[in-house]
Amino acid sequence: MTHNQAPATVLIAHPSAELYGSDRVLLETVQGLCEHGVTVVVALPSFGPLVTEIRARGGVADLCPTPVLRKEMLRPRGALKFSGDAVRGIPAGLRMLRSTRPDVVFVNTLTIPLWVVLGRLTGRSVVCHVHEGERSAPALMRRLLAAPLLLTHHVLVNSRFSLDVLAESFPSLRRKATVVYNGIVGPPQPGAAREHISGTARLLYIGRLSPRKGPAVALEALSILVGRGRDVRLDLVGSVFPGYEWFGDELTATVAADPAVRDRVSFHGFVSDVWPHAASSDIVIVPSQFDEPFGNTAVEAVLAARPAVVSATSGLLEAAAGYESIVSVNPGQPAAIADAVCAILDNWPHYRSCAVDDSALARARHAPPRYRDEVARLVSTVGAIPAPARDYRCPRPPKVEEAAPDGD
């Protein structure tokens, strides 16, 4: 296809229609490709708030059943559901490929491997954008998840940590992979935190309410802080994943059972615009207990010019690297989070000032225009898509090492 022919088409397969981390990154991918004259069709297994945002950026959202890898598929009922979804997904996917006739199939995450297979079987160029990186998962599971990438023409990875995890399974993937840091839209007008902490200090948790993300650890840290005589409260912005309602019930029961924090916690549920909550907060807490491929929430805290306490693990270390306003603590230790919050509050002018400086650095490092152009440029290497004329340069995080565990 030459540039004088009809515009190129990219079919993006995505596993959900919500507005969390990888969903928001998808929107930047859609916008970047559309800005370069590409026709973008997004295949979704269900409809949700993401659909309106895709259309607002010039893309087309269409429903297409597809099997999505979830942890519950390791159980008999989950495996049966996955098999049924695959039976429906194969003909549905082939119909969509015939109707859209894409130049490139862009598979967004490792959780929908069927699209990689269908793309190759129909002779399409296939790119996969990897948002996952779980080094703590069993080696066999990691190899099974990464295996479909061997069929792709190119792999985009959201962090060096995620790339290292993939390469531990298949070293050859390094030759076809490129690290592209997420483009993250910050608040329209980031403002410095309040100059003095007068009255209650306001802590903020943003993200999924799931065991691995650590909101229960944040609640424990809050209880410890109150026990130390600190006047603090915690706002939790986010909802549970379908099927994890039990965990949400556990969190609310924990709060109700602890008189020390009962009136100091607010659950706000899912909020599409988190910036008003960030603006009214003093410190953001990112208490993930397990591996994170990157750390969008940590970056969002920096973009909002708020000091943060972040688990020193996996991709979160990479996301937090180079920011003086972030205090890293070993995961799963509420007392360490409480200590870090106290350190920030006791040295508030320093951390407040550093957060303002870090915000400018984060805006350059994660500039959405930079991300959009990088993705469009990489997709152009495998499909009949004109490469962007612009070439953004921005500071990159320094290399980091995993934090050593605490001694006895």
For residues 344 and 252, membership in a common domain is answered with: yes
Residues 60, 177: Cα–Cα separation, whole Å: 27
Confidence of residue 408 (pLDDT cuts 50, 70, 90): very low
Residue 385 clears pLDDT 80, i.e. is over it: no
Confidence of residue 372 (pLDDT cuts 50, 70, 90): very high
Residue 136 clears pLDDT 70, i.e. is over it: yes
Residue 132 clears pLDDT 60, i.e. is over it: yes
Reported pTM: 0.83
Higher-scoring residue by pLDDT: 384, 134: 134
Question: CB–CB of 239/274 below 8 Å?
Answer: no
| Neighbour count for residue 364 (Cβ, 10 Å) | 12
For residues 102 and 212, membership in a common domain is answered with: no
SS3 139: helix
Which alpha helices (DSSP H) does 176-227 contain, by range? 215-227
Confidence of residue 381 (pLDDT cuts 50, 70, 90): confident
| Alpha-carbon dihedral angle through residues 12, 14, 17, 20, given to the nearest 10 degrees | -110
Determine, yes or no, domain membership for 194: no
> For the chain, what is the domain count?
2
Q: Which of 331, 304, 80 is nearest to 192 (CA)?
A: 304
Residue 40: its pLDDT value, please? Answer: 97
Determine, yes or no, domain membership for 175: yes
Residue-averaged pLDDT of the chain? 89
For residues 256 and 270, membership in a common domain is answered with: yes
Least confident of 75-79, 124-128, 163-167, 289-293: 75-79
AA letter at 228: R
Confidence of residue 164 (pLDDT cuts 50, 70, 90): very high
For residues 97 and 25, membership in a common domain is answered with: yes
What confidence tens digit (pLDDT) does each residue in 37-64 have? 999 999 999 999 999 999 999 999 999 9
For residues 374 and 340, membership in a common domain is answered with: no
How remote is the C-alpha of 176 from its chain's centroid? Answer: 22
What confidence tens digit (pLDDT) does each residue in 100-117 have? 999 999 999 999 999 999
| DSSP assignment letter at 39 | E
| φ, ψ of residue 191 in degrees (nearest 5) | -120, 155
What confidence tens digit (pLDDT) does each residue in 230-264 have? 999 999 999 998 888 999 999 999 999 999 999 99
Determine, yes or no, domain membership for 196: no
Question: What's the CATH number where 228 sits?
Answer: 3.40.50.2000
Q: What is the domain extent for residue 299?
A: 201-363
For residues 83 and 125, membership in a common domain is answered with: yes
